[in-house]
Structure 1
Amino acid sequence: MNTVTIIGCGWFGLPLATQLVKQGIKVKASKRHPEDLVQLQQAGVDAYQLNLANVNSQAKNSSLFDADAIVINLPPGLRRGETDYLGYLTQLITLMGEHQYQKIIFISTTGVYPSLDQTVTEQDAAAFNDTSRTLLQAEAMFSAMKNSCIVRFSGLVGPKRHPGRFFAGKTDVSGANVAVNLVHLDDCIAAVSLILSRNDTLPIYNLAANAHPTRGEFYVAAAEHLGLTAPEFNQQQQPNKTIDGQLICHHLGFTYAFNNPFKMLDAC
């Protein structure tokens, strides 16, 4: 694995690119806006502008897609009301063309699991609403490809994403009983790096720390960790869904650096 392309080089993609460069891998990466390319270049990354909403002839003839592996990390933007996510991915697949990659990694989310009172594994995804239906359609576009691997991130925390801000100062918050399903940025980088290096990967992996404190416990502690006003939870309970993120450990020998969300607070 000598060259890796990263489509979408933001909060996760840029530190992943930086880590791969440190390993001696040539990294190509894309950003939507040209003014953001300098940051990639400063990190030793070959930077390309790519706007999937308006693909020009330069993008169609770009060497961006000439690599041994490709990591696709495009936030769906569904909560912001963006509706052309699947169209962007279709355009991306067109640009990838007939290139045969040693590994195709598509970054997805554990939002594909319905809120049920149970522990969910990689086999439990379901199209239970419009958002999950879109996410699963996106996964299917890439899972059909040779050498592909879908990686589903749980709630992301890390630099500039401290969980203490999620509910700080809020009152009458329901679901104090619900399990927290989080994964730290460092573990996301380590897991994707591991998958890139292996030929024996499974089609799908969840990423989630093994410990799952309740929201009532964790988000009070997280807010207090930042000196913010702790949230106040009501007595209304919600379905307690727990994400099982251990398959990658059992199958690839992966070890989470942050297997307890409380331990993540000092690394955010």
Structure 2
Amino acid sequence: MIKSVCIVGCGWFGLPLAKALVAGGVKVFGSKRLQTEVLSLQKLGINGFRLDLDDDAMLAQERTDIARALSADCLVINIPPGLRKDPDAYLLRLAKLKQLIDAKNYKKVIFVSTTGVYPQVDKVLSEQDACAHSEISTKLLQAEALFSELDNSVTVRFAGLVGPQRHPGRFLAGKTGLLDASAAVNLVHLNDCILAVSTLLFNQTSRGVYNVCAPLHPTRQAFYSQAARELGLVEPQFSESEQVTEPSAEDTRVTGKQICSERLCSELNFEYQFSNPIDMLLAC
């Protein structure tokens, strides 16, 4: 039975996950880089601890508290990659974390990754289709490999994240001459991310890699035009040569990569709260 979970990285996703687990009666340890943020976690019933993987002095000074937190039944690793700023720093942080957890035997280790590991190809992509197609994807796959060898490990690959403070209507509003009007939208709502990770945590049979992406894929033109309208913003304009005549029509051909999350649904009977990105717009 899982009684405690440690979440490394209580940010936009990690904090709501921590709150959900606490509400379910689980003892949660959650990390923040700054002490002031640690105190804010404690006010929410989360056992906050400071963890800055860039600060070796801090790691030595706080080693007792860190070791206690990392000794939870399960571990969720949710460290933002930030690969565009410093590709190597991400892997260094993860390597330090792996040293800190040492030989601990967790009931479950969840590593949060992204669907950036998939190439831009015109097809439906499942978990085995990941490849090192760019510098960023190479780093992401190396990061996944650090923890995939651990017992009871699971990697979740989130599609584009939307939810509170991340309304997609702002992503392309007012832009002109955009390409790929018919390209598939691959998004997932925060609520479904929380539900998916919670499901994987408490399911003894879950192993390996799972995509977490809404099953339906509207076109970029249909989705982002609707998203901008929802906020009263200027709709994005796509290149005339690429515009879809009836972007919302059911028979409109969607192009580009489409992330498949069938494994999560079929193996664990998972049901998305928001199976269509259009439905997410009112919950952002």
**In which range does the TM-score fall when normalised by the shorter chain?**
over 0.9
What is the identity, as a one-letter code, of the residue corresponding to 1:213?
P
User: Could you tell me how far apart the structure 1 residues matched to 2:62 and 2:219 are?
Assistant: 46
Shift, 1:83, TM fit: 3.1
Q: Which residue of 1 aligns with 2:62?
A: 59
Q: Distance in 2 between matches of 1:113 and 1:203?
A: 16
Distance 2:197 2:21 in 1: 10
Paired residues for 1:124-135 under 5 Å? 124-135=129-140
Per-residue CA deviations over 1:212-244 (Å, capped at 9, x if unaligned) read: 000011001000100011111113599610000
Q: 1:145 is paired with a residue of what secondary structure?
A: coil
Aligned pairs for 1:243-254 within 5 A: 243-254=259-270
- Normalising by structure 1, we get a TM-score of 0.97
Pick one of 178, 181, 190 that aligns with 2:195.
190
Aligned residues: 268
Q: CA deviation at 1:38?
A: 2.5
Which residue of 2 is the match for residue 9 of structure 1?
A: 10
Task: Name the structure 1 match of 2:125.
Answer: 120
Contact 2:87 2:139 in 1 (8 A): no
Aligned residue number for residue 47 of structure 1? 48
Is contact 1:115–1:239 with CA below 8 Å preserved after alignment?
no
2:221 to 216, 228, 235: 216
Mapping of residues 79-90 of structure 1, within 5 Å = 79-90=84-95
CA apart distance, 1:80: 3.0
Contact 1:40 1:47 in 2 (8 A): yes
Cα distance in 1, alignment partners of residues 5 and 196 from structure 2 = 15
Indicate the SS of the match to 1:166.
Answer: helix
Q: Distance in 2 between matches of 1:6 and 1:17?
A: 7
> Aligned-pair distance for 1:37?
1.4
Deviation of the 1:143 alpha carbon:
0.5
Equivalence map 1:1-268=2 (5 Å): 1-55=2-56, 56-61=59-64, 62=66, 63-234=68-239, 235-236=241-242, 240-268=256-284
Contact 1:186/1:257, CA 8 A, preserved across alignment? yes
| Distance in 2, Cα, partners of 1:244 & 1:215 | 17
Letter in 2 for 1:245: S
Letter in 2 for 1:262: I
Give TM-score, length-normalised by structure 2.
0.92
Tell me the SS of whatever aligns to 2:54. coil
Higher alpha-carbon Rg = 2
| Cα distance between partner residues in 2 of 1:46 and 1:172 | 49
- Equivalent-residue separation in structure 2 for 1:165 and 1:232 (angstroms): 14
Q: Deviations over 1:7-64 (max 9, x none)?
A: 0000000000000001100000101111211221121100011000013313333311
SS in 1 for 2:72: coil
The SS at the match of 1:80 is: coil
Question: Which segments of 5 or more consecutive residues in structure 2 lack a partner in the other structure?
Answer: 244-253
SS in 1 for 2:238: coil
| SS of alignment partner, residue 4 of structure 1 | strand
Once the two structures are superposed, what CA deviation does each residue of 1:102-160 show, in whole Å capped at 9, x if it has no partner?
00000000000000010000000000010000000000001011100000000000000
- Whole-Å separation in 2 of the counterparts to 1:60 and 1:206: 34
SS of 1:106's partner is strand
Which sections of structure 1, spanning at least 5 residues, go unmatched? none
Amino-acid identity (%): 49
- 1:164 CA displacement: 0.3
Q: 3-state SS of the aligned residue for 2:81?
A: coil
